[in-house]
Every structure is written in structure tokens, then in C-alpha cells.
């Protein structure tokens, strides 16, 4: 009877943390991002606004800490648990920074490591690792109005990875089959195909299909596919890269193109405004970058994703973490 009570309490607490994180993403984050855009549009361009953007980054960082420490609502956190999160964040920073040093540019392992952190440590920790790692990376890459946006994007990817993947049965996966992820992939392809048919019938002659439709209908297909799946995805070297590419291209790319519009529109000489036509152009021009970023994430998840997750799981079991 006690065991049943413990399981029910754990599930209730997990749902509570997930709801809090979802509310932060759906309510707090849009408010903060709206303020960033508003300040970028109205502030005196002669002033250095880095301190202002840094303050918003700290707000995002604090928001990501809240759901993580809800894990320890009824007990004190162990140092090793916090160290594990810090280690994954540090590994993400080092991996990203190393790729920049050798000149790989967007072809970096940082996004893959954030996804790995979310799967290994849970959605709340993935949210925290993504935001924290991006915050510290930009001390080297450069702070600016893009920092809060990048923190949010990585945080969302870590959070979603923790929700979508099932690491409990990782040792039971004996075979890898595309059929496991066929549902979500088919839904995405069907959604994009429907968008293309609509474009042929209703689109203007001066428009390009490769733009916002890829992101919007891709996101709709991804959500529909995961709902149809109705179960968590297994961890293997087919499912991980496919999820990595799609989530990076659709979610990270989709959000950062909106951020690019907000930042570019604050520069009068850019010719970009806060309007639909400017956003469409940015989505079209962003496709090669986002596709390369997605392929890099898929490559690194295929290369070491499953191996790192297994090692983190063994470390957690050995030291009695998150139990």
C-alpha cells in the first residue's frame, strides 16, 4: 500500500512540475520576449543595451530554475544531483565552443547535448540545462537581444525531449526500426504535402513554398504525429536523429526566425519591419541555416546520443539520483 502511495505521489508531483514548466513557456516566456522586442524597437540606439538584455536573460534563467527545484519539493537536493545538471550544461558549453574554435559554425553538438540532457535528467532539468548553457555560451559568442531567444529555444528542446522519450525501457530496445517513428514522420510529410497542394491552388505567383509553410505545417504535423503515437518514443539511433532534425528545424528555426524579424526591424537600414511580408522573407532565407543546424543535431545524436544517455542512466542508478 505504501508503494502505491509513493507512485501516485510521484506521478502527481511530476504532472505538477510539467504543468508549471508549460505555463512558464506559454505565459512567462512570451511576455519576456515581447518586452525584449519592445525595448529593441523603442530604446535609444546610441545606448548600450547589453545590460538590459542581460537582465532579461536572468529572468529566463530564474524561470527555468523554478520547475527544476520543484523536484526537491519534499526533500533536500543532493549535491550530486545538482552537479549532474551542471556537468551536462558545462559539456554543452564546451562542445559548442569547441565547434566554433575549429570553424564548424552552426555544425555544433550543443543542441544534441541539450536534447540528451532532457532525456537523461528529465524535462525540467533539460529546460534548465538548455537555458543555462546558452547563457554562458554567449559570454564567448556575444551577448545581445538574441540571447534570451536562444535560451528559450534550447530550453524548449530540452523540455520536449524529456517529455517525449521513454528512457525507462532503454535496455529493452533490441532492434531499430523506422516503423517506431513512422506515425509522426508520416504526419509531418502529409501536413507539408497538404500545404504544398494549397500553395499550388491558392498561392501567388511571386511567392515561394519554401518558407513559413515548412515551419508552420511541419509543426502542426509534428504535434499531430505525437498525439497519434500516444506513447513515448524509444531511445535508439534512428529515432533520436529524426527527432533531433525535426525539432531543431521546426521549433528552434521557427522561433529564431521570428526573433530575427524583431531584431532586424529595430535597424532602419535593414528594410525589415514587424510585418508578415518580412517574416515570410526571413523564413525563406532561414531554411538553409536551419536545415544545416538540424542535420548537425541529427548527426551528433546518431554519433553518441544513445551511448551518453546510457552512461548517464548508469551513473544515476549507481549514485541513487532522482529516485
pLDDT in tens, 265-282: 888 777 788 888 888 888
- pLDDT digit string, tens, across residues 155-176: 999 999 998 886 655 555 444 5
Cα dihedral across residues 254, 128, 222, 171: positive or negative? positive
Of the candidate ranges 67-81, 151-165, 173-187, 218-232, the one whose mean pLDDT is the lowest: 173-187
Output the CA–CA distances (angstroms, integers) from residue 121 to 168, 207, 321, in the order listed.
Answer: 12, 44, 10
Res 93 pLDDT > 90: yes
193 grid coordinates:
504535402
Closest CA to 215 of 256, 183, 276, 181: 256
* Helices 123-141/50-69 angle, 10° precision: 160
Q: Map grid coordinates 544513445 to a residue.
A: 306
Print burial letters for 49-78: b (CB count within 10 Å at least 16), e (below 16). beebbbebbebbbebbebbbebbeeeeeee
Residues 193-213, mean pLDDT to the nearest whole number:
74
* Helices 306-318/79-101 angle, 10° precision: 160
What pLDDT, on the 0 to 100 scale, is given for residue 54?
Answer: 85
Give the single-character DSSP code of 251: I
Confidence of residue 177 (pLDDT cuts 50, 70, 90): low
Res 136 pLDDT > 50: yes
What pLDDT, on the 0 to 100 scale, is given for residue 300?
Answer: 96
Task: State the maximum Cα–Cα separation within the chain, in Å, rounded to a whole number.
Answer: 69
250 burial type by CB count under 10 A (0-12 exposed, 13-18 middle, 19+ buried) = buried
214 and 290 Cβ atoms separated by less than 8 Å: no
186 burial type by CB count under 10 A (0-12 exposed, 13-18 middle, 19+ buried) = middle
How many angstroms from the chain centroid is the CA of residue 13?
A: 23
Length of the chain as a residue count? 323
97 and 137 Cβ atoms separated by less than 8 Å: yes
Tell me the whole-structure pTM to 2 decimals.
0.83
How many angstroms from the chain centroid is the CA of residue 201?
A: 34
- pLDDT digit string, tens, across residues 19-72: 888 899 889 999 998 888 888 777 766 676 778 888 889 999 899 888 888 876
Q: Rounded CA gap, 218 and 192, in Å?
A: 6
Q: Rounded CA gap, 46 and 100, in Å?
A: 30
Res 1 pLDDT > 50: no
Q: Rounded CA gap, 84 and 312, in Å?
A: 9
pLDDT over 90 percentage in the chain: 29
Mean pLDDT over the full length of the chain: 82
What pLDDT, on the 0 to 100 scale, is given for residue 174?
Answer: 47
Res 89 pLDDT > 90: yes
Amino acid at each position: 500500500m505504501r508503494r502505491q502511495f509513493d507512485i501516485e505521489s510521484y506521478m502527481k508531483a511530476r504532472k505538477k512540475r510539467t504543468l508549471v514548466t508549460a505555463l512558464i513557456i506559454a505565459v512567462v516566456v512570451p511576455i519576456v520576449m515581447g518586452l525584449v522586442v519592445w525595448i529593441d524597437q523603442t530604446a535609444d540606439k546610441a545606448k548600450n543595451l547589453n545590460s538590459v538584455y542581460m537582465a532579461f536573460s536572468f529572468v529566463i534563467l530564474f524561470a527555468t530554475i523554478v520547475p527544476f527545484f520543484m523536484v526537491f519539493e519534499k526533500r533536500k537536493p543532493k549535491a550530486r544531483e545538482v552537479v549532474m545538471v551542471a556537468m551536462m550544461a558545462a559539456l554543452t558549453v564546451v562542445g559548442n565552443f569547441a565547434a566554433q574554435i575549429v570553424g564548424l559554425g552552426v555544425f555544433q553538438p550543443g543542441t544534441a547535448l541539450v536534447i540528451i540532457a532532457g532525456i537523461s535528467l528529465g524535462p525540467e532539468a533539460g529546460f534548465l540545462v538548455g537555458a543555462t548553457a546558452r547563457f554562458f555560451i554567449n559570454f564567448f559568442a556575444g551577448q545581445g537581444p538574441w540571447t534570451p531567444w536562444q535560451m528559450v529555444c534550447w530550453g524548449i528542446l530540452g523540455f520536449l525531449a524529456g517529455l517525449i522519450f521513454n528512457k525507462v525501457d532503454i535496455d529493452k530496445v533490441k532492434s531499430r526500426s523506422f516503423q517506431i517513428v513512422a506515425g509522426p514522420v508520416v504526419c509531418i510529410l502529409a501536413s507539408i504535402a497538404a500545404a504544398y497542394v494549397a500553395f499550388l491552388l491558392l498561392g501567388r505567383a511571386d511567392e515561394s513554398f519554401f518558407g513559413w509553410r515548412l515551419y508552420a505545417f511541419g509543426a502542426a504535423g509534428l504535434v499531430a504525429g505525437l498525439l497519434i503515437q500516444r506513447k513515448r518514443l524509444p531511445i535508439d539511433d534512428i529515432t533520436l536523429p529524426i527527432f533531433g532534425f525535426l525539432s531543431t528545424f521546426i521549433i528552434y528555426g521557427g522561433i529564431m526566425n521570428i526573433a530575427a524579424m524583431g531584431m532586424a526591424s529595430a535597424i532602419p537600414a535593414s528594410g525589415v519591419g514587424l510585418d508578415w511580408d518580412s517574416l515570410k522573407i526571413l523564413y525563406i532565407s532561414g531554411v538553409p541555416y536551419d536545415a544545416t543546424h538540424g542535420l548537425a543535431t541529427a548527426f551528433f545524436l546518431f554519433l553518441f546520443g544513445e551511448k551518453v544517455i546510457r552512461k548517464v542512466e548508469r551513473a544515476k542508478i549507481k549514485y541513487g539520483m532522482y529516485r
